[in-house]
Amino acid sequence: MASDAKKILLVEDEKAIRDAVAAYLEREGYWVVGVGDGQSAIEEFEKHQFNLVVLDLMLPKIPGERVCRTIRDTSDVPIIM
Range 7-80 classified under CATH 3.40.50.2300? yes
Which helix (H) or strand (E) segment holds residue 34: the answer is strand 31-35
> What's the predicted TM-score (pTM) here?
0.93
pLDDT of residue 54: 98
Q: How far apart are CA 56 and CA 52, in angstroms?
A: 13
Q: Tens digit of pLDDT for each residue in 13-37? A: 999 999 999 999 999 999 999 999 9
Could you state, in order of their start, the residue ranges of all structural domains in the chain?
7-80
Dmax (CA) of the chain: 33
pLDDT tens readout for residues 62-78: 999 999 999 999 999 99
